[in-house]
Structure 1
Amino acid sequence: MLSNRISVNDGLYKIAVGKFNRNINVIDNQFTQILNVETIYLKDGYYGPNGFHAEDLAVIVLKNKVSISVGVAPVCVDWGSKFSVPNGAQGKIVGWGKTEKGIQSPNLLEATLPYIDHDSCRKMYTNGFQTFVTTDKFCAGSALGQGVDQGDSGSGLTYLHFEFYYLTGVVSVKDPNTNNSIAVFTDVKRHIQWIRDLYNNYTSYASDNIYKPNSMVIK
């Protein structure tokens, strides 16, 4: 098992926002920011493939805050677990994964994926891959059409609720033996208390409005 808290020194890892080009050294526009990672938190109980990728989620703390602008904005988080997503609802995801031609995309791509709940997803697999659809997972995608691929792991899947997009899932795994676009996602709401506890550690008085000089990224 990996340590659940990894301290990062000397700018070893970086996060980029406001970018469309995959090359982190390319400054795309006036909104692009390259920030150093300070700490990475992994969920307790994550054992990688040996644990069927259960608890497959990380929270990344940056050394400095992200500057919010018309070109860079945070996604919403359903802290109170108020919203549910029906099967077939269309979600949005972006990433630099491989295209249908099998090549890595140099530019950020967007896909629309239909939601598949946990039970329905497990029933789709009969080759043993259903063991990777652990209790904290759901699926999204279809037999044909857009989907995620190698290089998209950790990308966030969002669904629309009352005119705002909420982070619902994070790309975890995909059955390598199928040709469809369906992938397995870590369900953010299953980990919301853990995320909230970490968030409170980096905010003054556990307030949503008063911040210490750090930003957080969920992957």
Structure 2
Amino acid sequence: MRVYLGKYYLSKFSNPGIQDHAVEEIKRHPDYDAHTYANDIALVKLKEEAAITDYVRPVCLWPQSQSLDSIIGEHGDVVGWGYDQYGRITDELMQITMPVVTRETCVQSFPQFYARYTSSTTYCAGHKNGSSVCNGDSGGGMVFLRKDTMRWYLRGLVSISIALRSQFCDYSNYVVFTDSAKYLGWIGSVIAK
């Protein structure tokens, strides 16, 4: 398996700044549940170190001490090559800014779905206006620019959203994110090995 860093066009492999790395190991969370998407997080270890360049930069991990309340109503950015509203994979890396909503707001909007897939280790974000992430964006990070440090921080990972029978996703509903800040202990223990 290979990982491409700094990539902007999905179909092109010669963009300036692209780094091609072999994967040494993928470490899935030991309590991952494929039926409920609980603990939907994994770490990828590269065989060689990535170079920090104008095209490839690390993101900071969110401090565990900060509760989810600190980002309710805040807007985070998500990028990906998921399906568009016409059911086509996008070739150009797309970006969307999405507000984080309370769990109550999320569950009340569609109880049969969100009551099953949300928990204390997830959060919901999105617009109910026809713009959202979609299949193909799963695993992508939601990042926030913190004004106090002027650095980008990872807070969540795209986990699951509602799909329509006629389409790959429903752009009028919220998206469930794995709250990566709740997994800092596990991340630290994996990295330390």
Regarding TM over 0.5, the answer is: yes
**Structure 2 residues not aligned, in runs of 5+:** 165-169
1:116 counterpart = 2:101: yes
Aligned AA (1:125): F
Which of 96, 102, 118 in structure 2 is aligned with 1:133?
Answer: 118
**Shift of residue 128, structure 1, vs aligned partner:** 4.0
**Structure 1 residues not aligned, in runs of 5+:** 1-12, 202-219
RMSD after superposition:
1.7
**Shift of residue 167, structure 1, vs aligned partner:** 0.4
Which of 118, 136, 146 in structure 1 is aligned with 2:131?
Answer: 146
Single out whichever of 164-173 and 126-135 deviates more from structure 2: 126-135
Q: 2:183 is paired with a residue of what secondary structure?
A: helix
Distance in structure 1 (CA, Å) of the matches to 2:177 and 2:113? 17
**Shift of residue 126, structure 1, vs aligned partner:** 2.3
Going from structure 1 to structure 2, the CA distance change for 1:152 and 1:41 (only over 3 Å counts) comes to same
**Shift of residue 172, structure 1, vs aligned partner:** 0.5
Going from structure 1 to structure 2, the CA distance change for 1:181 and 1:108 (only over 3 Å counts) comes to farther
CA deviations 1:105-149 (Å, max 9, x no partner) are 011011111111334322322234420113311011011143100
Distance in structure 1 (CA, Å) of the matches to 2:160 and 2:74? 20
Aligned residues: 185
Identity of aligned residues (%): 28
Q: How does 1:30-49 map to 2 (within 5 A)?
A: 31-49=17-35
Which of 36, 40, 53 in structure 2 is aligned with 1:56?
Answer: 40
Q: Name the residue aligned to 2:2.
A: 14
Instruction: With the length of structure 1 as denominator, give the TM-score of the two structures.
Output: 0.78
Which of 182, 186, 191 in structure 2 is aligned with 1:194?
Answer: 186
Going from structure 1 to structure 2, the CA distance change for 1:65 and 1:120 (only over 3 Å counts) comes to same
Which of 151, 160, 163 in structure 2 is aligned with 1:176?
Answer: 163
Q: 1:127 is paired with a residue of what secondary structure?
A: helix
Aligned AA (2:87): G
**Shift of residue 100, structure 1, vs aligned partner:** 1.8
Distance in structure 2 (CA, Å) of the matches to 1:65 and 1:179? 37
Q: Name the residue aligned to 1:207.
A: none
Instruction: With the length of structure 2 as denominator, give the TM-score of the two structures.
Output: 0.88
Aligned AA (2:20): I
Q: Name the residue aligned to 1:76.
A: 60
Which of 166, 170, 174 in structure 1 is aligned with 2:153?
Answer: 166
Q: Name the residue aligned to 1:7.
A: none
Aligned AA (2:162): D
Distance in structure 1 (CA, Å) of the matches to 2:123 and 2:20? 32
Q: Name the residue aligned to 1:6.
A: none
